[in-house]
């Protein structure tokens, strides 16, 4: 009886071990079946062969970086080129002239160098005096005095003072000369010639004005600018070189001109070189 029980018990234990062995085999098989599912949900790592070309490529990555780095430089270079071109164009315009201005230059350089130098010297002294007055009394005060004399507004004179970067004395000179020419250069043209190195004596001679009458006329307007003389609303008149020659030959000057230096109109003298007439017709004087 005992042998039978032991045999049955041994068989039961053997069957239990067999069942356990079968269960382990089934679990391992199930784990292998689930492995692909786990691999599918896990992000795939790029193969080394795919990553290597991207990392070591000399055309893909550097190209955008080089472009991003060089773009500001290229833009700066382009801007610099544009600025240089603009500066060159400005310089060209500054030296550009027209036939009328060429005639003024040519005629002015034919005048006596000594006479031109003397005019420049005296006008430079007047220029400094007017500038000192403006520094003391203010630009607006001087502009107001000259506006009435030259028939412009104070604001227009202030704008010219700022635009051309010239002192008030030079504005007096330019407006006085310009007022004595017909069909001639503008104030802007006169300052352009000054920027090109011409002295006021050469410019006045080029405009056909008698150099002996330039200084007294300009000094008269300078006294107006400094408040030493009351303006009459008319620019001082300067004789043309041609008219002065005719007046000298005839011995008589026309009355009614504004005269400085103490001479009276109608006495047959032009007075201190300040001339007569309503202004020089530059085109008529040059025959063009």
Domain that holds residue 161: 95-237
**pLDDT of res. 150:** 95
DSSP 278: S
Residues 6+ apart with CB under 8 A from 148: 231, 233
DSSP 287: T
Does residue 32 sit within a domain? no
Does residue 84 sit within a domain? no
Walking along the chain (288 residues) 10 residues at a time, the average pLDDT comes out as 68 67 50 45 46 44 45 43 46 61 92 95 96 96 95 96 95 96 90 95 96 96 95 92 59 43 37 44 52
**pLDDT of res. 63:** 47
Does residue 187 sit within a domain? yes
Number of separate domains in the chain: 1
Does residue 19 sit within a domain? no
Does residue 110 sit within a domain? yes
Closest by alpha carbon to 194, among 215, 221, 167, 219?
A: 167
DSSP states along 60-110: TTHHHHHHHHHHHHHHHHHHHHHHHHHHHHHHHHHH---HHHHHHHHHHHH
Does residue 271 sit within a domain? no
């Amino acid at each position: 009886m005992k042998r039978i029980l032991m045999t049955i018990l041994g068989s039961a234990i053997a069957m239990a071990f067999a069942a356990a062995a079968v269960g382990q085999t089934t679990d391992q098989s199930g784990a292998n079946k689930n492995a692909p599912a786990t691999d599918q949900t896990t992000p795939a790592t790029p193969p080394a062969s795919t990553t290597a070309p991207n990392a070591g490529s000399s055309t893909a990555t550097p190209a955008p970086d080089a472009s991003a780095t060089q773009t500001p430089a290229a833009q700066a270079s382009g801007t610099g080129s544009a600025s240089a071109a603009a500066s060159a164009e400005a310089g060209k315009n500054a030296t550009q002239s027209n036939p009328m201005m060429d005639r003024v230059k040519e005629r002015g350089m034919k005048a006596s160098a000594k006479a031109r130098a003397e005019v420049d010297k005296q006008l430079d002294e007047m220029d400094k005096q007017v500038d000192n007055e403006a520094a003391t009394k203010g630009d607006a005060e001087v502009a107001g005095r000259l506006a009435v004399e030259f028939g412009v507004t104070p604001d227009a004179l202030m704008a010219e003072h700022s635009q051309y970067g010239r002192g008030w004395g030079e504005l007096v000179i330019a407006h006085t000369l310009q007022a004595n020419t017909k069909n001639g250069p503008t104030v802007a043209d006169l300052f352009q010639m000054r920027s090109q190195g011409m002295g006021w004596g050469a410019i006045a001679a080029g405009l056909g004005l008698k150099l002996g009458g330039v200084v007294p006329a300009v000094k008269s307007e300078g006294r107006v600018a400094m408040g030493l003389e009351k303006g009459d609303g008319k620019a001082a008149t300067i004789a043309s070189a041609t008219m002065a020659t005719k007046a000298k030959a005839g011995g008589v000057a026309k009355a009614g001109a504004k005269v400085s230096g103490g001479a009276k109109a109608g006495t047959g003298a032009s007075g201190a070189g300040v001339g007569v007439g309503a202004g020089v017709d530059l085109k008529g004087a040059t025959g063009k």
